[in-house]
A and B are shown apart, each in its own frame.
Chain A
Amino acid sequence: MAEVRFDAASRIYPGTEVPAVNELNLDIADGELLVLVGPSGSGKSTALRMLAGLEFIDKGSVFINDKDVTLAPPQDRDIAMVFQNYALYPQMSVAANMGFALKQQGIPKDERRKRVEEAARILDLEPYLDRKPKNLSGGQRQRVAMGRAIVRSPQVFLMDEPLSNLDAKLRVQTRTELADLQARLGVTTVYVTHDQVEAMTMGHRVAVLDHGVLQQVARPRDLYSKPENRFVAGFIGSPAMNLVDVDATNGIAIAGGTVPFDDSVNVANQSGTVSVGVRPEHLSLVTDGTPDSIAGEVTVVEELGSEAFVHVRTKHQGDDLTLVVRDEGETSTQRGDQVSVAFTGPTHLFGADGERVGD
């Protein structure tokens, strides 16, 4: 059980100017499952590897349980890592894979066997203990990688996109199992993924990174409802939030429809180009002539069964603008329909610097 703290930790790869991870500050509580999420090149894997001791930390420090491990080699950090490609030892049986770390610690064979079997029981791997990794399915290999981690009862679990090599259905299933397992074991876990759905569904808190810079750390629902900047707003949510650049000189309107904001936003204070964000479910198709509605033409209807996403093309500041609007499932809306769109829920405003305005 452990807390993890990144204190202004940076990693600058040799031969590059821009840090891969730039002064990362992050506090991870005991037993927490923290997800690092970001697009490729955001530094999320680098941050994890810094914690693992597989990357040098050029500036700042990393603490595990208040112990400075900045310069400690991986084996002195008491962490276990699950790799994206699982990194199983191909010549060893499942049991030997899982017991490898214990063997390195010089734990006697009987004790090793007992702990491996215990982990195998938790992960339903008992029938496969004598098999080689190449004779296992993808899902089973993933579980062996998990097993190798939990056998050690480490201070911290590190997971580097552990589900990305599974097919879509298995991924969703394993996601739940993993979150459940983590909660049962109560081990502090840092989980890296590029999949924001995975981040939202699994994380107790989610840290969003972009270009090596931490954008926001928050509970999933806060990340969704109160993104602190334009990047987070666009990255979290599927389909993505509608983000529209607006000239704020004369009030804030999209394609003729004035955007409503809550009281904390002072529209009159804004100037220059700002961004308006509104999620598809906070827009609705309404009857023509509704005040402050936006007129447009339907270009695509994405029918998902329980809901539908309607792409509406309109003109905004002289350019084509497509808004995504959530509609009910089995909608009668079709491509080519002329429709009106109205704001029906919270909206977000990001200033010229990309930072959130108001609460």
Chain B
Amino acid sequence: MAAVTSNSTREEQVKALQKKEARRRRLPLLPALLFTIVVTQVPFLMSLYYSFTKWTVTPPSPREWIGIENYTDAFTNMFFRQAAMTSVIMTLTSVVLSVILGTGVALLLDRKFFGQGFVRTLIITPFLVMPVVAGLVWKNQMFSAAFGVLNWVLNQVGVESIEFASKFPRWSIVGVLVWQWTPFMMLIILAGLQGQSSSVIEAAKVDGASPRATFFQITLPHLRPYIELGVLLGSIYLIQVFDHIVVMTGGGPGSTNVPLFVNQRSIGGGWRFGSASAFSIVVVVATIILATFGLRVLSGLLEGEEAA
């Protein structure tokens, strides 16, 4: 009979079917994959190549292979080290402040009150504003010594106007970043809070825990994976911040971070593509290390959810 086949033929048939199935799954992914490779991986490899060359555009000179010289430069260059330090400080302070504020706002929004949904939407809006727009709005409408709302408020209480963006360039930028990223942290932490069983809180009440003890001993440990996730995503994004700085201070004292620095060294006027490439490769490697560490946290979070 036709239906009766030997075992080996059946195995081959199953294998062929599996192969077909696998191809059918991969095929729809292919366009996106190709696009990603063309726009990210090809430029990356080119940058990698440039980073081992001496290549300046003004005055034009032929590319020249110089090995790791750009990298040794990067680690001895004082300006690069400063920019790296600025990146670390700006990222850390912005992330930490927005997580703390976001947790606070999330705790408030977790209570039931009239107009809760409306307030939540309003609070999310800063995150929806484009970075350049946020930078311009804060520079011109909020911080400006002449027209700024903040200075108007200061004037009302008898304080002289302060040109925030030029006097405190780094902290002005951190302020805007916190304003933009607090809603994001709030969303993640709010999701965590709403995932907490209300009976756990009630159990703590019955067990005699004060609101403070309940928060620190029960709610905060519960929120830990969510906070980690927020810190991870925030760090990955904030380490690349560029728009705000260009718009607000143009890299004024203490506000030049690595992306801006790389930009200054290359298409932003320095035209030294070789060394700028080396700088950016260093940043990529650092970011990959951070992201790998972070992804492990993320998968831990997902596993924890499944087991619970």
Chain A residues near B (Cβ < 8 Å): 52-54, 73-75, 79-81, 83-85, 87-92, 100-101, 104-105, 134-135, 148, 152, 158
Contacts and interface: CB of A to CB of B under 8 A. Distances in A.
A91 B210 CA distance: 18
B218 A52 contact: no
B203 interface: yes
Contacts of B199: 83-85, 87
A75 B209 contact: yes
Contacts of B202: 52, 54, 74, 81, 83, 87
Contacts of A105: 208
Given A54-B202, A85-B199, A90-B222, A104 B308 contact: no
A54 B222 contact: no
B207 A91 contact: no
B32 interface: no
B197 A100 contact: no
B222 A104 contact: no
B205 A74 contact: yes
B197 A85 contact: yes
Contacts of A85: 197, 199
B198 to A, nearest CB: 9
Nearest to A96: B217
A101 B308 contact: no
Interface string B182-219: 00000000000000010110111111111001000110
B221 interface: yes
Nearest to A89: B218
A100 B224 CA distance: 19
B207 A134 contact: no
Given A91-B221, A104-B213, A54 B197 contact: no
Contacts of B122: none
Given A75-B209, A83-B202, A90-B308, 8 more contacts: A52-B202, A73-B205, A74-B202, A88-B200, A89-B204, A101-B208, A101-B209, A158-B206
A81 B209 contact: no
B218 A79 contact: no
B78 interface: no
B285 interface: no
Nearest to B225: A91
B206 A75 contact: yes
A180 B38 CA distance: 72
Contacts of A100: 204, 207, 209, 217
B307 interface: yes
Contacts of A152: 207
Instruction: Identify the 8 closest CB pairs spanning chains A and B, nearest first.
Output: A75-B208, A101-B207, A87-B199, A91-B221, A87-B203, A104-B208, A74-B206, A83-B199
A134 B197 CA distance: 14
A287 B51 CA distance: 104
Nearest to B205: A74
A83 B222 CA distance: 19
Contacts of A101: 207-209
* Among A52, A73, A89, A158: residue with most chain B CB under 10 A: A89
Contacts of B208: 74-75, 101, 104-105
A228 B223 CA distance: 51
A134 B308 contact: yes
Contacts of B221: 91-92
A71 to B, nearest CB: 15
Contacts of A80: 206-207
A92 B204 CA distance: 13
Contacts of B205: 53-54, 73-75
A142 to B, nearest CB: 14
A104 B207 contact: yes
